[in-house]
Structure 1
Amino acid sequence: MTELIKNILNTMCCSCNPFWDTSSPYITINAREYKIQRLLNENTLSFAYMVEYQNPINQSRLTEDPNLNKLALKQLICPFGNINSVSSALKEIENYKSFNSQYIIKCVDSQVVQTEDGSKMVLMLFPFYQKGSLQDLINYNLLDGVNQFTEPEIIRLMVGICKGLLCLHDPTTREDMGNLSNGMDSVSMTMSEDAASLLDNTPLEMNFLTSQNNKLDSFIHLNIKPATILLTDENEPIISDLGSCLRSEREIKTDLDLTNLKQWVTNHCNLFYMAPEIINLKKNSTIDCSVDIWSLGCLLYSLMFGISPFDREEQINGLPLRHNICKGIFSIPDSKTYSQKLIAIIKSCLQVDSIMRPTASELLTQLQDIPK
């Protein structure tokens, strides 16, 4: 088992030192040099930077795609001995390899290294979308005092998001993976003995670490919200942050299953967009793709009214947010801007009984049937 895990890791790890000296603005990842332009975001053990591609040490196809000159670099720190953080980071890398859709973000390169203090550093490079996320656009509109979005704009955005979500949920809809190179060469394939020794006799979840059957799996995103939907220069939506993804369906059979999933939800999910069954996780239950449909209903509401439905309801009636979500208590503001068909889609997504929610495919059909 340990040897198999090491072999999987060997396909994405490199023993060279890619992290940068704080006195230098340059970083080298898999023999390619990047200049760090600015910090985009930071959390306790993760950082995001905008970087610019420099002349490569080894020539690669990256230079043929000028759109990849500026990238977003995600840096995850995995403390020494914390194998869960390592497996989670590797799982995220594998998730990006599973999809070839214009509506799902691509990881253009990645590298895992052992640092001098014994911890691991996981680096991932993505296209940089200068327009930011839907949340950025919602915030801008609110500050500017303009109407959020027109109905045709919302329908176009939602159609793109549904197409991306359908790719996650339904493996039969995925495009051919044969050309999934993203303009990058293969990742280096070596790993230091020190890095490998960290994995000895460690029980890692193999379904997190191998993409051998990913093309046949359904995935739950688990964190659909305006902040995880990026926008291209043409205002096309891109689903990002596949670090939250779980293989569906996730059955909760034991106390350990329940504890692990609760911890995963705490680390990866946003309460304002969280389905009732995620808030009230129970043994002998199953989490499936319908949780993303609930989140999509909340996202649609936010596009229309600038706030998540249950956050708004808490502000109006004073009842706790969790209570409103679990009871499905929300209201639609008076508005003549949007059609009843679009409002009906919100209501169909925000059904407390998950069986009553439409699928991504059904939602896509409903959206495309709304008169333009």
Structure 2
Amino acid sequence: MTALKSLVLNNVPVKMGQTLCICSRGSITIDNKKYYFVQKLDEGGFSYVDLVEGAKDGRFYALKKILCHDREGRQEAQTEMEMHQIFNHPNVLSLVAHTFVDRGGKTEAWLLLPYIRKGSLWSVLEKLRDKASSMPEKQILQIFRGICSGLKAIHEKGYAHRDLKPTNVLLDEDDRPLLMDLGSMNRARIEVRGTREAMTIQDWAAQRCTISYRAPELFNVESHCIIDERTDIWSLGCVLYCMMILEGPYDMVFQKGDSVALAVQNPVTIPQSCSYSEGLQMLLSSIMVSNPQERPNINWVLDQVQDLQTCSPNTQTNMV
């Protein structure tokens, strides 16, 4: 996928009543507001992100562009836009503006999002790992509590994120986490009736839910069951593990080519070298329960985090 280096396109038809103009100065206009292209930030399979600057406010924004190859792709992008608009929460990334751009017979969905300079939780953890350092327990609890708060807001609206992982959590300068990439979100409670429905959900999960953070019940979906928001609780546990150990609990299993589906059926193993408090380790073990019926809900997890914060050590922990 090539970057929009010059952004020299004119008379681009736009949907949803929004005005868009691209001129030779490398600017775009969405909702009658002009933004200047700065640089490319990221690129994925079907989307890429540009850094743009507001002409009037001078603020930086992340412009996510999703390639919609067909009607289904367009509907998925529309759903992602709608998911952003449902939530107004300090721990869920907001949507500044959005539009669809039709160009050369192809459609792109454009999502204008706040630019979070510090980047993802994963990038912060990578830097710690490179320095052979670790994150203080107090900081882990602060960030984790924010993640839980954002997830609670999503669950209370009757939805599940379905792809929670450190790369989908942004951190601002005050370590406030913001849940992002809402494209895999759907209704929290899914009733599975029959083998065909089970296979449909299993195939969907294989495409949309990152394998090393995917809940056990999504690997082999039973023909008659209910999938609910506790898939997120499992992923939440994987995120907590990653904050403590600086890698996901099943990252190495996947990298070695071993079966993640088999590995997630066993209790999570916390390395003996882990020097975080017994309370934090117990919380992790309580979250990462293979049987979803025995897994706690987000309210319970949030209560435990708040309790741990009242007695958490304020000093830097030893090396993990």
Fold shared per TM-score above 0.5 = yes
**Residue 70 of structure 1: aligned partner:** 60
**Residue 162 of structure 2: aligned partner:** 222
1:332 alignment partner, one of 242, 261, 270 = 270
CA distance in 2 between partners of 1:38 and 1:330 (Å):
41
- Which whole-Å deviations, capped at 9, do the CAs of 1:129-162 have from their partners, x for residues lacking one? 0000110011111111212x11111111111111
**Residue 47 of structure 2: aligned partner:** 46
What SS is found at the alignment partner of 2:191? strand
CA distance in 1 between partners of 2:187 and 2:31 (Å):
29
CA distance in 1 between partners of 2:39 and 2:253 (Å):
37
CA distance in 2 between partners of 1:362 and 1:233 (Å):
28
**Residue 306 of structure 2: aligned partner:** 368
What SS is found at the alignment partner of 1:97? helix
Q: Does residue 250 in structure 1 map to residue 250 in structure 2?
A: no
User: Structure 1 residues 324, 37: closer, same or farther in 2, change over 3 A?
Assistant: same
Q: Alignment RMSD, CA only?
A: 2.2
1:94 alignment partner, one of 82, 95, 106 = 82
CA drift of 1:16 comes to 4.7
Q: Does residue 143 in structure 1 map to residue 130 in structure 2?
A: yes
What SS is found at the alignment partner of 2:250? helix
Runs of 4+ in 1 over 3 A off after TM superposition: 14-18, 254-260, 312-316
2:204 alignment partner, one of 242, 251, 264 = 264
Percent identical pairs in the alignment equals 28
**Residue 184 of structure 1: aligned partner:** none
CA distance in 2 between partners of 1:13 and 1:266 (Å):
32
**Residue 13 of structure 1: aligned partner:** 16
Q: Residue 287 of structure 2 contacts residue 296 of structure 2 at CA under 8 Å; is this kept in 1?
A: yes
Of structures 1 and 2, the one scoring higher in RCO (CA 8 A, sep 6+) is: 1
- Which whole-Å deviations, capped at 9, do the CAs of 1:302-341 have from their partners, x for residues lacking one? 000011112346789x85322101x124311123631111
Q: Residue 313 of structure 1 contacts residue 329 of structure 1 at CA under 8 Å; is this kept in 2?
A: no
User: Structure 1 residues 242, 253: closer, same or farther in 2, change over 3 A?
Assistant: same
CA drift of 1:264 comes to 3.0
Q: Does residue 162 in structure 1 map to residue 148 in structure 2?
A: yes
CA distance in 1 between partners of 2:282 and 2:155 (Å):
22
CA distance in 2 between partners of 1:103 and 1:260 (Å):
31
2:294 alignment partner, one of 343, 356, 364 = 356
User: Structure 1 residues 254, 112: closer, same or farther in 2, change over 3 A?
Assistant: farther
Structure 1 residue runs without a partner (length 5+): 1-11, 56-62, 172-217
User: Structure 1 residues 255, 321: closer, same or farther in 2, change over 3 A?
Assistant: closer
What SS is found at the alignment partner of 1:71? strand
CA distance in 2 between partners of 1:242 and 1:336 (Å):
32
Q: Residue 15 of structure 1 contacts residue 114 of structure 1 at CA under 8 Å; is this kept in 2?
A: no
**Larger strand proportion of the pair:** 2
